[in-house]
Amino acid sequence: MKDLVNGLKSNCERGFKFLFQQIDEASDAVWKAKSGKMAYWQHIYHTFACVDFFVAPPGTAIDPGPGTIDIVMFRECPDQPLSKETVREYGLKKKAQAYEWIDGLDDSDLAKKNEAGSERRKMDVSNGMVVSGLAGHCFYHIGCNDSILRENGHAGVY
């Protein structure tokens, strides 16, 4: 049975939908705008890259794709952002990766220990926590970017 899995997945679907909408909504000025030290585009890129943190097998590092791990983890914010097209393409790949992992679960798997998540967080983490954490991570960064949109005279997406 997948009723619970599908319910949790719908939160991830909604989060990814808003992230792609934020790519579409951003003018060039907003795409480069910062809130603190982090740029609008970087929040989206970071969120896509961190799919690996949630669903990659144990011992797997985050794949920074078209950038670097320092950009992913906000240790560096280059003056020249990745293009919207590059971030969108990378995001489609990471969304597919997340859905492939989620689609491999059924409701009975949600309470089971997730070895990769447990290793990364250094505590016991269930598959259900991983799916809900992935959605929560999306929404956190959607909120960060909605504030940048609003500060620049645009409506937020959420």
Structural domains of the chain, ranges and CATH numbers in brackets: 3-151 (1.20.120.450)
Residue 37 has a pLDDT of 86
What does the DSSP 8-state code read for residue 104? T
Residue 28 has a pLDDT of 95
**How far apart are alpha carbons 81 and 19 in whole angstroms?**
17
Residue 36 has a pLDDT of 82
**How far apart are alpha carbons 53 and 123 in whole angstroms?**
14
**Secondary structure, 3-state, 118-157:** HHHHCCCCEHHHHHHHHHHHHHHHHHHHHHHHHHCCCCCC
Beta bridge partners of 79: none
Q: Helices marked H in the chain — which ranges? A: 3-25, 28-32, 40-49, 51-55, 69-72, 84-103, 115-121, 127-151
Residue 11 has a pLDDT of 97
Each residue's pLDDT expressed in tens, for the chain with a length of 158 residues: 999 999 999 999 999 999 999 999 999 999 999 988 899 999 999 999 999 999 999 999 999 999 999 999 999 999 999 999 999 999 999 999 999 999 999 999 999 999 999 999 999 999 999 999 999 999 999 999 999 999 999 999 98
Six-digit token string for 9: 């997945």
What does the DSSP 8-state code read for residue 39? E
Number of C-beta neighbours around residue 22 at 10 A = 25
